A and B are shown apart, each in its own frame.
Chain A
Amino acid sequence: MLGFLEKYGLFYLTGGWPASEIGGFAGTLILAGVGLAVCFPLAILIGLARTSQRHAFFISATIWVYALRGIPLLMVLLWSYFLLPELTGHSFTPFTTAMAAIIVYESAFMAEIVRAGIQGLPKGQMEAARSIGLGYWQAMREVILPQALVNMIPSFVNQFVSTVKATSIVYIIGVSELTFVAQQINNVEVGNPIRTYVVLAFFYFIPCWGLSLLSRKIEHSIKARQSSAAAVR
C-alpha cells in the first residue's frame, strides 16, 4: 500500500500536472471551488430574483432554477460539450467545458440557498430598512445580505461538498480530475482495482467528511448566537 501511494500519490493529488493541465484531487477541488466562487454572484442575483415582487424577474429565475434542478449534471455537461463549441465557434478544453457546466448547474442550487437565506430573515428587517429611506439595493447590501449570508454559510459548505462529489461525473468528457486519474491508475495496476478505488474513495471521503463536520459546527454556533440574541429580548 505504501509503495502504491508513493508511486501514485502525487498523481492522485494533481494528475499529470505540470506536464499537462492540473487534475486529480486538485483538479476536483478547483472545479468545485472556482466553480462555486464564480457561481456565487450569479446565485445572489438569481436568488434575489426568486424573492422579487417583479414578475418578469421572478418567473425567469424560477424557470431557470426548476429546469436545472430537474435534470442531472451529466446532461448539462453533455450539452456544454456539444453545444458550447457550436454556439461560440471556439473549441474548449474539457476542463473549461466542465467548469462552465458546473457553474451553470450549481447556480440553481446556490440561488435556492440565497433565496432561503433571504426569506429566512424576519420580514421586519426589510420593512425597517425601507422605512428609514434605504432603496431596495441599499437595503439588500446594508441590512439583508450581511445577515443572510452568515446564515447561509453552512448551506454553502454543504453545497461545496456535494459539488466535489458531483464533479466525478466530468471524467466522462476526459477531464483529468480525481476519478479520471483513478481510472488511469487502474488501467496500469490492473491486478488490484480495489486498492485503487479504495484510495479514490478516501480522497473524496476525507475532505467531504471534514467539511460536513465544519458546516455542522458553524451551524451550531450560528444557532447559539441567534438563540442568545432571542433570549435577551
Chain B
Amino acid sequence: MASDRQGAMVELRGLEKSFGSYKVLDGISGAVNKGEVIVVCGPSGSGKSTMIRTINRLEEIDGGSIIVDSRDIHDKAYDINTLRSKIGFVFQQYNLFPHLSALQNVTLSPIKVAKMPKAEAADLAAHLLEKVGLKDKINAMPANLSGGQQQRVAIARALAQNASVMLLDEPTSALDPEMVGEVLQVIQKLAEEGMTMMVVTHEMGFASKAADVVWFMDQGRIIEKAKPEAFFNNPTHPRLQKFLSDLLH
C-alpha cells in the first residue's frame, strides 16, 4: 500500500542526513498516501523529529529525495514558501506567536501568504477555532491559554493554510496529562475527515485508533511498518518488541 505512487502525497526516497559524523537519517524511505494517517514512533534520538522536519525543509537532507504532492521539494524552481504553505506543521512546543491573539495567529498565513482579504481570513479563522473547540477564546492571547488550548490554536493555525498534508511532531508530549485527550480528539477528528497526516507520537491508544500505518524508527532507520493491529499484536523486530514492552511499564 505504501508503494501506491499514484496516491502518494508525501514520498521519502532514501533520506540521508548526518550531524557532523553522527548519522541521524540512514536511508529512510516511505510514502504517505492521500487521506492516510501515518504514526511514527521510536525511541528518543532515533531521528523522528529530524525526518519529519525534512519534509518542510526545516532540516535539509544530505542525500535522497522528497516528493510532496507530486513535486520534488528540492527542485530549484520550487519556491520554499509555497512548499511550506502547503504543509501544516504542528510543534511539540506549540510555538504560537505570543504577541498575537488566537485569531491573529490563525489569520497570519491566510493574509500574508495566501493574500486572503482580512475579513475572509477572520471568518475562516473563527470557523477553525470553533472546530478545535475554542470559539470563546478567539481574542485570547496565548499567555492566557492552557497548553492544550494553545496546541489546539496551533492546529487551527496549520489548518488555515489549507495544507494538503499535516505534520505533527509529538503534539501532546509537552502537555499536562489531563490535556492530552482534548488535543488527540481534535487530531482524530481530522483523521476521520480524511486529512493526510504524519504524526510522531507515543500515544499508542491514538495510534491504534487513528493510524493507517505505524512506522517504527530506530537509529535513523525505519525498521517496521505495519497496520496498527499487526504492529501492536505481532511486532516482528526485537527492538520494537522491547520498545512496546518498555512503553507498558
Contact = CB atoms under 8 A, between A and B. Distances in A.
Interface of A: 122, 124-125, 127-135, 138, 142-143, 146-147, 150, 225, 228-229, 232-233
23 contacts: A125-B95, A127-B58, A127-B95, A128-B89, A128-B91, A128-B95, A128-B96, A128-B154, A130-B84, A131-B58, A131-B87, A132-B158, A133-B81, A133-B82, A133-B84, A133-B109, A133-B114, A142-B97, A147-B99, A229-B98, A229-B143, A232-B145, A233-B147
A189 to B, nearest CB: 54
* Those 5 A-B pairs whose CB atoms lie nearest each other, nearest first: A133-B85, A229-B143, A128-B95, A133-B113, A124-B95
Given A122-B93, A131-B84, 9 more contacts: A125-B95, A125-B97, A128-B96, A130-B58, A132-B89, A132-B158, A132-B161, A133-B85, A135-B81
The dominant DSSP class at the A interface is helix
A134 B112 contact: yes
A128 B91 CA distance: 8
B35 interface: no
Contacts of A128: 89, 91, 95-97, 154
B225 to A, nearest CB: 26
A128 B151 CA distance: 13
B50 interface: no
A54 B99 CA distance: 28
Contact of B108 (A130, A142, A150): A142
B150 A233 contact: yes
B157 interface: yes
B143 A131 contact: no
B58 A132 contact: no
Contacts of B95: 122, 124-125, 127-128
Interface of B: 56, 58, 81-82, 84-85, 87, 89, 91, 93, 95-99, 108-109, 112-114, 142-147, 150, 154, 157-158, 161
A92 to B, nearest CB: 42
A228 B58 CA distance: 30
B151 to A, nearest CB: 11
Given A125-B95, A146-B99, A232-B144, A131 B56 contact: yes
A133 B143 CA distance: 24
A119 B97 CA distance: 16
A53 B87 CA distance: 24
A224 to B, nearest CB: 12
Contacts of B161: 132-133
B93 A132 contact: no
Contacts of B56: 131
Contact of B112 (A124, A127, A138, A233): A138
Nearest to A228: B143
A133 B81 CA distance: 5
Contacts of B142: 229
A134 B145 CA distance: 24
B154 to A, nearest CB: 8
Given A128-B91, A229-B143, A232-B143, A134 B108 contact: yes
